[in-house]
Amino acid sequence: MAQGKLIDLLPWSERYVVRDTDPVLTPALVIYPEILDANIDVTLKLLGGDPQRWRPHVKTSKLAFTMRRLVDRGVLNFKCATTLELLTACQNGAQDVLVAYPLMGANAERVKAIATEFPGVRISALVEHESQIARWQRSSIGLFLDINPGMDRTGVEQSHADELIRLATLVRRAGLAFRGLHYYDGHLGSLPLDERTRAAHTGYDRLMEITAAMKQAGVPVEELITAGTPAFPCTASYRGFQQPGLQHRASPGTVVYNDATDLGQLPPEYGYHPAALVISRVVSHPRPGIVTCDAGHKTVSADAGIPTCVVVGRAGLQPLSPSEEHLPIKVESGDVPPIGEILYLLPRHVCPTVNNFDDALICRQGCIEQVEPVTARGREAPILAAPGQIAATR
């Protein structure tokens, strides 16, 4: 991913400046609430102003602070992957949460315990095999069927409509609520937008055929869930999801903060901007043309590849391969940042980057207003609590 292209999409803005960095221990995660709110508003506008059409994945949000801002704007339906994310969403105003991850063993028992603690929250899980259904009997948990749209990660292949009908029938026979179909097409993100849209819409056509077949078989689909951030433009433009009587929800989560990958995949006219950056200090000049800052891969996630980030406002600085705590940067043009200078880094993948921090600085108009915990960072303690003792421990 070319840094130049990203810099063109992301001009430097003074609103990213943290005025007093002397007391800040770097590297630090900074969240800008005004930009966060604007990103939420952009997403709602793209969904016709209806917060009921959005089920964001909170693997990105992570902070109770951010989840509450979504709830304040009427976004009450969420997705998550871990029990700690589920607990955090339930504690901060969610009304409906899908744990969009195959839950086995004690993980499933923990979800049932959280559901007991929060009876007013509608909690659901995914299944893709009949052996998983019995796990949820005698509980309030609803079930979605997971469809594999070609990502080959989880789910029933979308060509197997008969198997989906059979599983939905078994869910209902088990006395459980069949909630709908979950269809995550994140593998399309590397395609150009027009090609991505064609591929996604072909899959959605098939999804609508499955939905119709299930209704004809007597197992109507209550809700369809599609699209993380890469396929969000494709879902937003698919007219079939807007037909009367169909509850469809899109599930982009990264759009609340955005990252370098998002800005290359989403149309710039949408108006998204980064709401989370990492601030880092230059700590070394190991040789001419190279500077090093304190933001290795334990700070900015390297899972999306090298470079791990963009140095915001410094197109002449090209991040190189990081080690655990160090990020060497090549000076391709412009001034060499002196030792001690603050650099603002836009992660290539913000979700696991947020998960690297215990706390975030909330900065408005250059001033740090508060420090907020990254509430759903990591996981709960790995031993299932005894009945009645379901408070999360960190």
% of residues, the chain, pLDDT over 70:
94
The residue type found at 270 is Y
User: What's the whole-model pTM score?
Assistant: 0.93
Query: Average pLDDT for residues 172-182, to the nearest whole number?
Result: 97
pLDDT tens, residue by residue, 267-289: 999 999 999 999 999 999 999 99
Per-residue pLDDT at 43: 98
Give me the residue spans of the domains in the chain. 3-30+270-373, 55-251
Q: How is 241-303 classified by DSSP, letter by letter?
A: GGSTT--EEE---GGGT--HHHHHHS-GGG-----EEEEEEEEEEEETTEEEES--TTTS--T
d(CA 273, CA 270): 9
Question: How far from 70 is each of 94, 296, 384, CA to CA, in Å?
Answer: 9, 31, 30
Is residue 55 a contact partner of residue 251, using CB atoms and an 8 Å limit? yes
Pick the CATH number of 55-251 from 3.30.540.10, 3.20.20.10, 3.40.50.10490, 3.40.50.300: 3.20.20.10
Give the confidence band of 388 by pLDDT, cuts at 50, 70, 90: low
Is residue 71 a contact partner of residue 93, using CB atoms and an 8 Å limit? yes
Per-residue pLDDT at 10: 59
The residue type found at 151 is M
pLDDT tens, residue by residue, 186-224: 999 889 999 999 999 999 999 999 999 999 999 999 999
Taking alpha carbons only, the member of 236, 224, 152 closest to residue 186 is: 152
Work out the number of other CB atoms within 10 angstroms of the CB of residue 245. Answer: 5
Give the confidence band of 6 by pLDDT, cuts at 50, 70, 90: low
pLDDT tens, residue by residue, 115-153: 999 999 999 999 999 999 999 999 999 999 999 999 999
Query: Average pLDDT for residues 168-177, to the nearest whole number?
Result: 97
Query: Average pLDDT for residues 16-33, to the nearest whole number?
Result: 97
Give the confidence band of 7 by pLDDT, cuts at 50, 70, 90: very low
Taking alpha carbons only, the member of 94, 68, 66 closest to residue 255 is: 66
Per-residue pLDDT at 1: 42
Per-residue pLDDT at 101: 96
Is residue 56 a contact partner of residue 249, using CB atoms and an 8 Å limit? no
Per-residue pLDDT at 389: 58
Taking alpha carbons only, the member of 374, 354, 190 closest to residue 275 is: 354
Work out the number of other CB atoms within 10 angstroms of the CB of residue 256. Answer: 30
Is residue 48 a contact partner of residue 219, using CB atoms and an 8 Å limit? no
Reported as type and span, the H/E element at residue 327 is strand 327-331
Secondary-structure class of domain 3-30+270-373 per CATH: mainly beta
